[in-house]
Amino acid sequence: MQKQAVVPPPGAGTRLATQACSHGTEHWTIGQAAGLRLSASSWRFADASKSHFAGEAKVIDMLGYYLQLAVRSLRRNPVLTTLMIIAVGVGIGASMTMLTNLRVMTGDPIPDKSSQLFVPQIDVWGPGSRRTGGAANTDRLPDTLTYRDAIAFMRARRGVHQTAIYGMGLDIDAGSGRPFAAAGLAAYADFFPLFEVPFASGGPWSASDDESRANVVVLSAKLAERVFPHADAVGKTVNLEGHEYRIVGVMKPWSPVPRFYDTNGTGAAFGNTEDFFVPFTNAIDRQHESWGGIGCPGRAPAGWAGLLTSECVWLQFWVELPTAAAVRNYQDFLSSYAAEQRRSGRFDWAARTQLHDVPDWLVQEDVVPEQARVNTFIGFALLVVCLINAIGLMMAKFGSRAGELGVRRAMGGSRRDIFLQCLVETALIGLAGGLLGLGLTAIGLAVDRALLAQGERNVALDVLTRLDTGMLAITLAVAMAATLCAGLYPSWRASRVQPAWQLKVQ
């Protein structure tokens, strides 16, 4: 068959090429012998190979040679090359913009501790409680605790650290300028070690401050800068709703994303942290209203005292349980607590209890908006369409080079050589497309940021739209992998080129 006549046995090809290329004139002869009219480009290809094949053909040399060939081939057809790079780049840009958002949203807000922090739940309303319409959440326990349960859990001290929290808004008067309203959190001293809150100056208040319901406050970096610019705020006082509070600590900027620790409707899941923190006991004493949701089984009883004794749930509770044994112990504690409450006549049902760690809690609270997943999915669909385009373009490109590839086959290049050559070209496109994609991702994120900033909702913007090194690596890897996958079929097809047919046609 013709094919066999042209293709030399394995090994012979390289030798033949080596001979041919070390003597430029001989090469010309071979070309003539094969009945070829060598185009200028093929001539260059033979010429370029000279130095590389002078000695022993090493793998690394081969790759370098392929790269050189690839660059040359890509430059020969700038329109197709540009289109391919744009196709890959646009797809990568769109999908990675969406993925960056989703990756941050689904990220672990406190990686080294997320499996050690738990939210307890207890079924204080019972199976007989009135439900609002819809059967969706009938099995779900209340997300927050009543005041009496939160206090009971605090007193029990069964975890390494534990804290009840609730969000609130107070007016702040720092002595100079207009008073203003700010968001704050009522918490126990344990809050700070439990969530590993970093301090710039000072530190948390003490457990005895919790006990004595002291007027102490921890400020966020932002608020400290606002009320005491260019000075250490620790030791100074601020006026919170008419009472002087001593500043014991100033936090470093701290904004876990998602803002997982309080999902009770105070501030967005992707919003900033509170501006100030006061002892829970102090806030209760001062009757600071909760900004979060308060759920009551019936009509709420009158007044603040009524709220504290009622079965209304409104307090978020966290406990740190470092070992599996501690978790089991805590589960036992919860069950026995529920049983005891039943014995005392508070419940006439066996109240279920549950413990959720951070990832579990984020899922239960639907913290990641479904829309973010949908957007990511759409971004990747766009990438697929772009890759389909790239496949088409590659087929066009390799197809238009069938003649040249035929010559290479005729001169002894194996199918594997052609295949690898095409893949190297594809990889180059993938790399260039990935770089373009990175640029487009940066632009996409900038647009995203502009969109979000419009909302004036204090989203932790820089975090949500940050292109970190991990994302950088993912982007380039996805671009290369996707383009190489897309290039497999066109390269394979190119390597099946029939040299005899190509030569004859020319």
Partner 1 sequence: METLSILKSVRRNKIGALLLVLQIAISLAVMSNCLSIIQDNLAQMRRPTGVDEANVFLVSNQWLNKPADLGPRIQADLDVIRSVPGIMDAEATNSYPLHGGGSSGGLSLKPDQKVTTRTAEYYVDEHGLAAYGLKLAAGRWFTAGEIGEVGVHESENPASVIVTAALAHKLYPSGNALGQVVYWTPAASSRIVGIVERAQAPWAAWTQARAEYSAFLPYHYIDNWVMYVVRSRPGQMGRAIPAVEERLFKLTRQRVVATETFAEARNSAYFDPRSTGVLLGVLCAVLLVVTIFGIVGLTMYWVGQRRRYIGMRRALGACRIDILNYFHTENLLIAGCGALLGILLGLGGNLWLTSHLELGRMSVAYICVGAVIIMAISQASVFFPAMRAASIAPTEAIRAL
Asked if residue 370 binds partner 1 (CB under 8 A), the reply is yes
Contact pattern from residue 140 through residue 179 relative to partner 1, giving x for each residue in contact according to CB under 8 A and a dash for the rest: -----------------------------x-x-x----xx
Q: Residue 115 or 239: which CB sits closer to partner 1?
A: 239
Q: Residue 290 or 421: which CB sits closer to partner 1?
A: 290
Asked if residue 379 binds partner 1 (CB under 8 A), the reply is yes
Reference 231, options 174, 170, 172, 169; nearest CA is: 174
Asked if residue 349 binds partner 1 (CB under 8 A), the reply is no
Of 141-149, 224-232, 388-396, 403-411, the segment contacting partner 1 by CB under 8 A is 388-396
- C-alpha neighbours within 13 Å on the C-beta side of residue 483: 32
In angstroms, give the least distance from the CB of 335 to partner 1: 26
- Binding partner 1 (rule: CB under 8 A), the pick from 12, 71, 207, 447 is 447
- Binding partner 1 (rule: CB under 8 A), the pick from 60, 242, 462, 469 is 242
Asked if residue 265 binds partner 1 (CB under 8 A), the reply is yes
Contact pattern from residue 314 through residue 333 relative to partner 1, giving x for each residue in contact according to CB under 8 A and a dash for the rest: --------------------
- 456-485 residues in contact with partner 1 (CB under 8 A) are 456-457
**Angle CA 197–200–204, to nearest 5:** 50
* Start-to-end C-alpha separation, the chain: 19
Maximal CA-CA distance, the chain: 105
- Binding partner 1 (rule: CB under 8 A), the pick from 399, 470, 501, 504 is 399
Q: Residue 231 or 363: which CB sits closer to partner 1?
A: 363
In angstroms, give the least distance from the CB of 441 to partner 1: 13
- Binding partner 1 (rule: CB under 8 A), the pick from 12, 350, 374, 477 is 374
Q: Tokens for 124, please give them.
A: 């204080």
Reference 363, options 106, 110, 69; nearest CA is: 106
Q: Residue 359 or 392: which CB sits closer to partner 1?
A: 392
Asked if residue 367 binds partner 1 (CB under 8 A), the reply is no
- Binding partner 1 (rule: CB under 8 A), the pick from 12, 54, 381, 446 is 381
Contact pattern from residue 113 through residue 132 relative to partner 1, giving x for each residue in contact according to CB under 8 A and a dash for the rest: ---------------x-xxx
- Distance CA(292)–CA(269), nearest Å, equals 13
**SS3 assignment, position 424:** helix
Burial 262-281 (b: 16+ CB within 10 A, else e): bbbebbebbbbbbbbbbbbb
Asked if residue 180 binds partner 1 (CB under 8 A), the reply is yes
**What is the DSSP annotation of 275-332?**
SEEEEHHHHHHTTPPPSS--B-SSSPPSHHHHHHHSS-B-BEEEEE--SHHHHHHHHH
Burial of 294 by CB count in 10 Å (0-12 exposed, 13-18 middle, 19+ buried)?
middle
User: What pairs with residue 13 in β-bridges?
Assistant: none
- Binding partner 1 (rule: CB under 8 A), the pick from 48, 62, 83, 488 is 83
Instruction: Give me the phi and psi of 177, to 5 degrees please.
Output: 80, 175
Q: At what angle do helices 469-495 and 415-454 cross, to 10 degrees?
A: 150
Q: Which residues bind partner 1 (CB under 8 A)?
A: 83, 87, 90-91, 94, 128, 130-133, 169, 171, 173, 178-181, 241-242, 265, 289, 291, 298-304, 306-307, 369-371, 373-375, 378-379, 381-382, 384-386, 388-389, 391-393, 395-396, 399-400, 447-448, 451-452, 454-457, 489, 493, 505
